[in-house]
Each structure stands twice: as structure tokens, then as C-alpha cells.
Amino acid sequence: MPASDPATGTVLPIGSDADLAWVRQQVRQSAAELGFGLVQQTKLVTAASELARNTLVHGGGGHVEISSLSQGVTRGLRLSFVDTGPGIRDVELAMTDGYTTGGGLGLGLSGAKRLVNEFEIDTEPGRGTTVTVIAWATGVPTARLGLS
């Protein structure tokens, strides 16, 4: 079960493939509750899935912090994927389409960035990596938010 902290939202561990499935499920549920449309949910879950897998495979595991955001009547979701692994030596190279260290297509970080509204990487070799993404719901009916 997720640990909840009112200051940070929900924190979920990322230490196994089962955790990856749980992260995807919780991100989808959170996005749906905030009024994200199905396409927006799918984009966010896809980005979260890639970033969670990177946390597990390249960072040796860690956690994700899921926080809801509000900007007027617009709702959003902030996801911070945190690990204490080896860090990313060359962020610019890692963000290049086609670059891979794991034998994949090399669209992980750059692909995740294209699926969200805001994207930030904080990393240092030997210190670990935190990737934070924010997605904003669009077209949220005010009645759904209880504002009508």
C-alpha cells in the first residue's frame, strides 16, 4: 500500500516489476480522479511507465512521489522519480532520440518528455537521479470539480 504524506502526496516504492505495474495503476487512477481525458491518461501512464522502468533498471530502484496540483480550476499531476543509482553522466546525450544504454529504441527519456507538459532532470554521477514531470488536465468540466 502507498504511504501518504500530505506535504508530498503519495510515495510508491520502485524495486520490482510488480512495483512498475502498481505505479502505472496509481498514476492512471490519480489522473482519472483529476479529470484527465483518456488520451491524456494514456500519455501520462506511458511516460510514468518508462521513467519507473529507468528508475528500476538504471537507478537500481527508488521511489516515485505522486502529487496533485491546482492552478485555478486546472488540475495537474506531478510525478518525481527518485533513485540513488549511478546518475546520468551526459544528460544531453541521454535525451537524444536513439541513444540507449539498455538495448532499447532509445526513446525513453526523450519520449517521456514529449508526453508531458513539463520535464526536469536533476542528476549527478554517483549521486543518483530525480526526474520530475508535470502534466495538466485540459478541458476539465467545472461541475466535475465541484465548482459549478
123-141, pLDDT tens digit by residue?
Answer: 988 899 999 999 999 854 4
> What are the two backbone dihedrals, phi and then psi, of residue 121, each rounded to the nearest 5 degrees?
-120, 130
Using the predicted structure, report yes or no on whether residue 19 has a pLDDT greater than 70.
yes
* Average of per-residue pLDDT across 66-91: 92
Cα 98 to Cα 12, 18, 81, distances in angstroms: 29, 27, 22
Residue 105: inside a domain:
yes
Residue 134's pLDDT is 96
pLDDT at 63: 98
**Distance, CA of 147 to CA of 128 (rounded, Å):** 41
Which residues form the domain of 61?
11-136
Q: Positive or negative, the Cα torsion across 16, 21, 24, 28?
A: negative
107 pLDDT higher than 50: yes
Domain CATH for 127: 3.30.565.10
Contact 64, 23 (CB under 8 A): yes
Checking if the pLDDT of 45 tops 60, the result is yes
- Look at residue 4 and tell me if it is in a domain: no
Q: Which residue has the higher pLDDT, 103 or 29?
A: 29
- Count of domains observed in the chain: 1
pLDDT of residue 93: 83
Pick the residue with more confidence: 60 or 142? Answer: 60
20 pLDDT higher than 70:
yes
Contacts of 14 (CB under 8 A, 6+ apart): 20, 23, 52, 55, 56, 61, 62, 63, 64, 81, 83
Mean pLDDT of 41-50: 95
Residue 130, in any domain of the structure: yes
- pLDDT class for 40, splitting at 50, 70, 90? very high
Give the start-end residues of each E strand in the chain: 3-5, 9-14, 62-71, 74-83, 118-124, 128-136
Q: Which of 41, 23, 14, 15 is nearest to 136 (CA)?
A: 41
